Homo-oligomer: A and B are copies of this chain.
């Protein structure tokens, strides 16, 4: 899995996933990917037809792998909901790729997002959680964990950690976990917020 023992096609795909994730689609040229993968630019076209074709291949590969990850977790019996931290490097990369893909906007990414929302909503209902809008909460949660993935470098820098390190990810995950598992406001602020929201909803 490290690099040379892969077919060129797989190396290209992995390089593209890496660079798309780090820089985004638009800022990554075919030649950048070719260099990263150690092949000529033409070979990318040969294998994937076009840049968009390559992108689609990356999408399906990443999203497929993410499904596999999820199934592994389920197979282990641990009903780990998506918002709890994981530290597998490849899974982290793929999750981050997914965030980037959503920002860049593709049909596959939208479908993936909706799928996650579906699952999370189902999880909420299965757990019998008491919330006024389970689907809304599921969607918001998906967007928030997406934000953690997408902005992780900013988070690391704001924390004085080196972006991309395990240390930074660990600290961010722990903090995010804490936020999800504890109410964020004192009761007064909480009440004020509820009032503001209710007032707005009446006005609507």
Contacts and interface: CB of A to CB of B under 8 A. Distances in A.
A59 B79 CA distance: 43
A144 B154 contact: no
A180 B24 CA distance: 30
A14 B190 CA distance: 35
A116 to B, nearest CB: 8
Contact of A148 (B102, B143, B181): B143
Interface stretch (A34-42, A48-56, A170-178): A170-178
Given A147-B144, A196-B84, A175 B133 contact: yes
Interface stretch (A2-10, A61-69, A134-142): A134-142
A157 B114 contact: yes
How many copies of this chain are found per oligomer? 2
A204 B83 CA distance: 21
Interface residues on A, range: 35 or more
B113 A154 contact: yes
A152 B158 contact: no
A28 to B, nearest CB: 10
Contacts of A201: 170, 174
Interface in A109-162: 109-110, 113-114, 117, 127, 129, 131-133, 135-137, 139-148, 150-152, 154-155, 157-159
B146 A151 contact: yes
Contacts of A170: 200-201, 204
A92 to B, nearest CB: 13
A144 B176 contact: yes
Interface string A161-204: 00000110011111111111111111001101100110011001
Contacts of A135: 158-159
